[in-house]
Homo-oligomer: A and B are copies of this chain.
Amino acid sequence: MVPHLVTALKGPLLDLEKKILDATPAIERWFRMEWQEHTPPFYCSVDLRNAGFKLAPVDTNLFPGGFNNLLPEMLPLAVQAAMAAIEKICPDAKNLLMIPEQHTRNTFYLQNIARLSAIMRHAGLNVRLGSLSPDITEPTTVELPDGQQLVIEPLERTSRRLGLKNFDPCSILLNNDLSTGIPPILENLHEQYLLPPLHAGWAVRRKSQHFACYDDVAKKFAKLIDVDQWMLNPYFTKCSGVDFQHSTGEECLADSVDALFKKINKKYREYGIEEKPFIVIKADAGTYGMGVMTVRDAAEVKHLPRKERNRMSVAQEGLPVSDVLLQEGVHTFEKINEAVAEPVVYMIDRYVVGGFYRVHTGRAVDENLNAPGMHFVPLAFEHTALPDVHAKPGAAPPNRFYMYGVVARLALLAASLELERTDPDQEVY
């Protein structure tokens, strides 16, 4: 299970790795101070792309699935982080209600839920599962491939609180990204902690908002360690009112793509990068890699084939797309057994608790890997040990994983700012 990784770290990123390793105490202190001001979301996973000359987060998920892809031996880190989180939120917490996604037949996803339940149980909580699905009208047992069982129960709502039959939780952990909107049953809860809050769901979240916050974070961090923030931060812009079906908003798209390519080309020239730049167009809301398109030339968006238009016009859960994010593409130059790979970093509270590689044998270095056919390779232990400042730059897996953990935490911090700025009750801050 130890991934054999081929990474072509090039000049600028070797320099970044060295700067990050040398500045470790300053970086960790900086995070510590930032977390005094900002509250991290309960958990988070971040997809990174490592282009050798550039390293950046491309997706920040506030309802991470995939905990089952972490190595079991690394779970004590997750438990410890969950303990620290609970202690801050609700020190006398006893019961936790977890609300999973509704597609209960996906056993991979259910293994994620089983794993999360185990983590929360070991952090000192009685965990039970409640479903938003109207099909769950009584406790329903689901068998998992490894012989474990999950019991999913119908939710019970009183005027003030949400729970299950004979189960009144102090906290509610959402593992459901609310793409279809905020269910009324979750609204107006009193004295119950909803983790993460409702506005972390895709009913409210926008990628453009997240990356605007990431801009602020990356700028500050780049100054701290004295690098060009472009090393960590892809350019992006946003187009509103796009209708792919009816070719509305193509003008804005083409102009924006054009302007973005100009900025990217300038940077590529500055650093002598000979790769072909590309732009990724994504729905501004939603996840799961739906509604994502790679563009290598501005002309492409003006002559989209019908199939591509159809594909881009709906995001997750069949919701129509009208706002899109245009983001500088970051190649992924990591490979496992010749297949293109990108690291995914998992965090609970402010702590990195593990990660894995998302691998796709059928995709190219400038394509989205979050697509059917992908598989996962856990990061081996050797990757998660303490960095070795004395190792040759680019040669030590723990050093690279430390750098990944730092950049993933920048995205985590951006998510914290994002949740502050989009909080409907922000007057309470």
Q: Is A86 touching B32 in the complex (CB atoms < 8 A)? A: yes
**A165: interface (CB < 8 Å):** no
List, in ascending order, chain B residues with CB within 8 A of A127's CB: 25
Q: Is A76 touching B25 in the complex (CB atoms < 8 A)? A: no
Nearest neighbor of A125 in chain B, beta-carbon distance: B25
Q: Is A385 touching B73 in the complex (CB atoms < 8 A)? A: yes
List, in ascending order, chain B residues with CB within 8 A of A390's CB: 147-148
Q: Is B122 touching A76 in the complex (CB atoms < 8 A)? A: no
- How far does the Cβ of A42 sit from chain B's closest Cβ, in whole Å? 16
List, in ascending order, chain B residues with CB within 8 A of A24's CB: 121-122, 124
Which one, B33, B91, B92, B94, contacts A92 given CB within 8 A?
A: B33
Known: A76-B77, A92-B33. A123 touches B86 (CB 8 A): no
List, in ascending order, chain B residues with CB within 8 A of A262's CB: none
Stoichiometry, copies per complex: 2
List, in ascending order, chain B residues with CB within 8 A of A125's CB: 25, 28-29
Q: Is A25 touching B73 in the complex (CB atoms < 8 A)? A: no
Q: Is B32 touching A124 in the complex (CB atoms < 8 A)? A: yes
List, in ascending order, chain B residues with CB within 8 A of A87's CB: 32, 35
Q: Is B387 touching A122 in the complex (CB atoms < 8 A)? A: yes
Q: Is B32 touching A384 in the complex (CB atoms < 8 A)? A: no
**A75: interface (CB < 8 Å):** yes
Q: Is B121 touching A25 in the complex (CB atoms < 8 A)? A: yes
Q: Mark A285-316, 1 if CB is under 8 A from B, else 0.
A: 00000000000000000000000000000000
Complexed CA–CA distance, A73 and B382 (Å): 6
**A183: interface (CB < 8 Å):** no
Q: Mark A123-156, 1 if CB is under 8 A from B, else 0.
A: 1111100000000000000000001100000000
**A51: interface (CB < 8 Å):** no
Chain A count of residues within 8 A CB distance of the other chain: 48
Known: A77-B76, A83-B351, A92-B33. A386 touches B28 (CB 8 A): no
Complexed CA–CA distance, A33 and B123 (Å): 12
Q: Is A84 touching B86 in the complex (CB atoms < 8 A)? A: no
A371-405 contacts to B (CB < 8 Å): 381-382, 384-387, 390
A28-69 contacts to B (CB < 8 Å): 28-33, 35-36
List, in ascending order, chain B residues with CB within 8 A of A93's CB: 29, 32
Complexed CA–CA distance, A81 and B381 (Å): 18
List, in ascending order, chain B residues with CB within 8 A of A84's CB: 80, 84
Q: Is B124 touching A386 in the complex (CB atoms < 8 A)? A: no
- How far does the Cβ of A80 sit from chain B's closest Cβ, in whole Å? 5
- How far does the Cβ of A92 sit from chain B's closest Cβ, in whole Å? 6
Known: A28-B124, A81-B80, A351-B80. A72 touches B33 (CB 8 A): no
Q: Mark A8-41, 1 if CB is under 8 A from B, else 0.
A: 0000000000000000111111111101100000
A194-250 contacts to B (CB < 8 Å): none
- How far does the Cβ of A247 sit from chain B's closest Cβ, in whole Å? 51
Complexed CA–CA distance, A81 and B76 (Å): 11
- How far does the Cβ of A413 sit from chain B's closest Cβ, in whole Å? 15
Nearest neighbor of A381 in chain B, beta-carbon distance: B73
**A419: interface (CB < 8 Å):** no
List, in ascending order, chain B residues with CB within 8 A of A124's CB: 24-32
Known: A29-B125, A73-B384, A124-B31. A80 touches B83 (CB 8 A): no
Which one, B28, B30, B72, contacts A385 given CB within 8 A?
A: B72
Please name the 6 residue pairs, one residue from A and one from B, whose CB atoms are nearest each other, closest first: A28-B124, A73-B381, A29-B124, A72-B385, A75-B386, A73-B385
A residues with CB within 8 A of B: 24-33, 35-36, 72-73, 75-77, 79-81, 83-84, 86-87, 91-94, 118-119, 121-127, 147-148, 351-352, 381-382, 384-387, 390
Given A25-B121, A36-B91, A147-B390, 12 extra CB contacts under 8 A:
A24-B122, A28-B122, A29-B94, A29-B124, A30-B124, A32-B87, A32-B93, A33-B91, A73-B384, A76-B385, A77-B77, A77-B80
